[in-house]
Structure 1
């Protein structure tokens, strides 16, 4: 009986203490933490946008070198031209002898080869990561690839052929390129690419808003923080810069390194630094007074409930327990001791079940003394202790419900600062650009493959497609369609669906508009070569795995991200979805429609704070592309981050207030439910049994279920039942005197 009551009081007092601790720790900073976190994530997203093209370029150059069909008649000059002629971004290229490092062929601008040890670089079996070098006062990226020569390769630096070599030889391809173009989003935001020492390698700014105040210490601080995190991680962070005219510079930094293990950019030491001037806030957020009031009210409720249960349940039940034990001893003993136990009336305390048990025990006492016979009791006698438990729940709910639904509610219009909303829009634009680049790269790769198919045999085409499928994980299948729409050649999985009418040109398209899985494909024309047999198919399709697209959408603290078609139906998402379903909220659909510009234009990104059944969220939408093969698709990218996930004082206060209310209500219901199970419900059963026993039922055996006060009362009632049953049998057999006479004989004379 005592544990539920004590637990109720203690746990409610703990919730009161947690309310004070939780709400008192909320303070409003001049620059909210959510703004700093947002800038950090923008820097991380920008770093990913820098890292991805470097990784793609490095793997493409290595793949091209590995697929180069070197023959015994190949020369370094022809090989260099074949390997790099299609690379538009190449500044300079050279071929080196892998063993001696001797220059074999060169093209374009001079390639900075200082410190490049060809023998050491080619000695290992793994890929050679890119390097950052200086040439002409500018920093360039050097990409490396091994070119394997057949055993009977001619030495290009000799006028005569040498004797055939018994082992394969290698050339080292070195390609120099500029750093990937740096793109930034958000008015007034500046982005920089820094080297390990904090020197800016590339700078770009965006928008018309006032730029961040120049702070020479930010690049150095960002480089120092990045170096302290190690070069093989994608660590990121935030910094605060100078303050001017009520605006303060907020900066984010992130390493251009792989997050999933060794990568091509780990040794470059590149760091992305983004910065933006944001207005400082002066509004104070002090919830300590409210916390003390709420905690004091809950503490008062806890003590009130504890005292109420103490005086209305615990004490009456203990007195009843003592009275039942006294009657049981009187029923089982004889002589003056038995009379003394039975002589005192049973005090009736409390109400409901305890009062009923008290009246029934008093009737049993009189029956044991022989003063009365069985007595009938009415079936119901007003409210019982179940109503008391319900009242306790209602009292706790009177404190909890306002905490959950009414108090400290964050204002949707003012709770989220404007820089946070702008940051969500910038991150959505970065995600959109990343998806566009991925789709554009898929189309570019497919076009390169399609250009190499004409004039080849079917077996050679199959080999090319199989190699392409192995090298490009984004494709589910590659297949050729003829003019009738029939597949003439396929590698990989069976296409989800194919087009009936073969399109002209090339680009990205959706093959279906319904079904379980969206079918998205890149396509390019396969042209016939003059004087040779026509190609096996006229269009090469590469069906893109939508799971690869889904995985590219997920970014930390960006929330849920969806890619929709021109009809705002979901094609891909970072969360679970059904293909071609509408966006989960009509507000998101309206936001996506708002990105549409004037007729004939591609539209612009937009953002807003929207309210839904799950609470306010910071949402943004952007058109997928303004140019390139995906521009005509009309796709959109929509992102929604719940405001509850942001570190905003108003939102934190709402969350912690709701949590306190939920905890108090849950614990109150649990403890009072526990009291109902172990005390109130057994008391109801005992009340029925004792009234039946007092009413003359001597056959029903009373089995104690609980090993507590209620169980002890049940055991005492069983002893009384046995005594009354024996007396009844004795009376019926005529071998015992009346109870009144027997008692009088045992009564001591004065």
Structure 2
């Protein structure tokens, strides 16, 4: 059964050196492009939420109440933002919630809402989303530091492929695997996919002959209607994790054959233990008695047909012992010494 379990676990995998179907490559490309679109929409949703906060702040005539609104906003999206704050026209923090703010990364006098390129804050990749709004004569800016670790839930949908979000330089911003922020990807194939300048998704089959992998990448930037940063989502999936119908059918047939063989061995083992071995012992005892060897009794341990035969053979042995004792004029008191206990 252990062998059958292994076949079931690896069943259907692409054989070494086999051609990977185009449909498999297209599928990997499609899920990668979908993840890139999801990343772009997640960032855009953050911009819309922050713009709504800025609109609410603009309707407030008293800046002293900003703190409560900013705190409520951050509590509502606590997993998304590490810090939320408001800057006045002099770049002073009017209100804040969460971690220490970093106003130095916010553009000067932005005209519309937007998102900065990823920066390192406390050794973690973060983008700052901002939304200007009217406040007195100079205006103000609502800012939220978007923690890119939250993109992990988007990338987890790509498992068992390993996925990365990288910036235009090919530096890692988020990943399903362990990574150091802003490090370059290690393997040549995925590094090349990360640094491509194309605005179109692409897929290739890379790696060595023994360890081939499908590498796909797709831009996050998107269309002019819904622009995202100049990032890419890169995925790499080992060919060994791909299940193909033709090889799966073969391996399922092998699994069935192994299961039948296992059951057959089990049945024959049961027959040997329960019937063949006791029967061989009974044949041995019968031949021994036929040769006038009456010293040992016939073991009776069963109550089925084989046990009935064993009892009958044992009674025959007892009768022969008694007959031999009587014919040799042996003292009958000594006969039980060579006879077993009563047959059950």
- TM class, shorter-length: 0.5 to 0.7
8 A Cα contact 2:170 2:184, kept in partner: yes
Q: Cα gap change, 1:21/1:630 in structure 2, threshold over 3 Å: closer, same or farther?
A: closer
In the alignment, is residue 607 of structure 1 matched against residue 214 of structure 2? no
The offset of 1:450, in angstroms, is: 0.7
Gaps of 5+ in 2: 249-344
Instruction: State the match for 2:146 in structure 1.
Output: 544
Distance 1:21 1:498 in 2: 58
Instruction: State the match for 2:332 in structure 1.
Output: none
The offset of 1:651, in angstroms, is: 9.3
Distance 1:568 1:579 in 2: 11
Instruction: State the match for 1:422 in structure 2.
Output: 26
8 A Cα contact 2:44 2:228, kept in partner: no
Instruction: State the match for 1:640 in structure 2.
Output: 236
Q: Cα gap change, 1:551/1:612 in structure 2, threshold over 3 Å: closer, same or farther?
A: farther
Q: Aligned with 1:554: secondary structure?
A: helix
8 A Cα contact 1:605 1:621, kept in partner: yes
Q: Cα gap change, 1:500/1:450 in structure 2, threshold over 3 Å: closer, same or farther?
A: closer
Distance 2:113 2:9 in 1: 58
Distance 1:546 1:612 in 2: 32
Note the 1:396-415 alignment, pairs <5 A.
410-411=16-17, 414-415=18-19
Instruction: State the match for 1:445 in structure 2.
Output: 49
Q: Aligned with 1:609: secondary structure?
A: strand
The offset of 1:444, in angstroms, is: 0.6
Count of residues in correspondence between the two structures: 245
In the alignment, is residue 510 of structure 1 matched against residue 122 of structure 2? no
Distance 1:613 1:621 in 2: 22
What is the aligned counterpart of 2:87 among 464, 473, 481? 481
Instruction: State the match for 1:523 in structure 2.
Output: 130
Deviations 1:239-289 (A, max 9, x none): xxxxxxxxxxxxxxxxxxxxxxxxxxxxxxxxxxxxxxxxxxxxxx9xxxx
The offset of 1:481, in angstroms, is: 2.5
The offset of 1:513, in angstroms, is: 5.4
In the alignment, is residue 561 of structure 1 matched against residue 163 of structure 2? yes
Gaps of 5+ in 1: 1-13, 28-32, 35-284, 286-407, 598-602, 653-750
Q: Cα gap change, 1:25/1:470 in structure 2, threshold over 3 Å: closer, same or farther?
A: closer
Distance 2:122 2:208 in 1: 28
Instruction: State the match for 1:591 in structure 2.
Output: 193
8 A Cα contact 1:604 1:622, kept in partner: yes
Q: Cα gap change, 1:540/1:646 in structure 2, threshold over 3 Å: closer, same or farther?
A: same
Q: Cα gap change, 1:456/1:21 in structure 2, threshold over 3 Å: closer, same or farther?
A: closer
Q: Cα gap change, 1:575/1:21 in structure 2, threshold over 3 Å: closer, same or farther?
A: closer
Instruction: State the match for 2:68 in structure 1.
Output: 463
Q: Cα gap change, 1:463/1:24 in structure 2, threshold over 3 Å: closer, same or farther?
A: closer
Q: Cα gap change, 1:611/1:489 in structure 2, threshold over 3 Å: closer, same or farther?
A: same
8 A Cα contact 1:496 1:519, kept in partner: no
8 A Cα contact 1:480 1:538, kept in partner: yes
Instruction: Say what the alpha-carbon RMSD is for the aligned residues.
Output: 3.5
If asked which structure has higher relative contact order (CA below 8 Å, sep 6+), I would say: 2
Distance 1:487 1:613 in 2: 57
8 A Cα contact 1:562 1:573, kept in partner: yes
8 A Cα contact 1:585 1:612, kept in partner: no
TM-score by length of 1: 0.30
The offset of 1:571, in angstroms, is: 0.9
Q: Aligned with 1:518: secondary structure?
A: strand
Distance 1:26 1:469 in 2: 46
8 A Cα contact 1:564 1:636, kept in partner: yes
Note the 1:43-192 alignment, pairs <5 A.
none
Q: Aligned with 2:65: secondary structure?
A: helix
Instruction: State the match for 1:432 in structure 2.
Output: 36
Q: Aligned with 2:83: secondary structure?
A: strand
Instruction: State the match for 1:332 in structure 2.
Output: none
Distance 1:25 1:464 in 2: 53
The offset of 1:429, in angstroms, is: 1.1
The offset of 1:525, in angstroms, is: 0.8
Q: Cα gap change, 1:468/1:629 in structure 2, threshold over 3 Å: closer, same or farther?
A: farther
Deviations 1:662-683 (A, max 9, x none): xxxxxxxxxxxxxxxxxxxxxx
The offset of 1:577, in angstroms, is: 0.8
Distance 2:50 2:66 in 1: 13
8 A Cα contact 1:440 1:629, kept in partner: no
The offset of 1:614, in angstroms, is: 8.4
Q: Aligned with 2:157: secondary structure?
A: coil
8 A Cα contact 1:591 1:621, kept in partner: yes
Q: Aligned with 2:151: secondary structure?
A: helix
The offset of 1:26, in angstroms, is: 8.7
Q: Aligned with 1:579: secondary structure?
A: coil
Instruction: State the match for 2:293 in structure 1.
Output: none
Instruction: State the match for 1:619 in structure 2.
Output: 215
Q: Cα gap change, 1:534/1:21 in structure 2, threshold over 3 Å: closer, same or farther?
A: closer
Distance 1:573 1:615 in 2: 21
Q: Aligned with 2:206: secondary structure?
A: strand
Deviations 1:280-314 (A, max 9, x none): xxxxx9xxxxxxxxxxxxxxxxxxxxxxxxxxxxx
Distance 1:441 1:495 in 2: 21
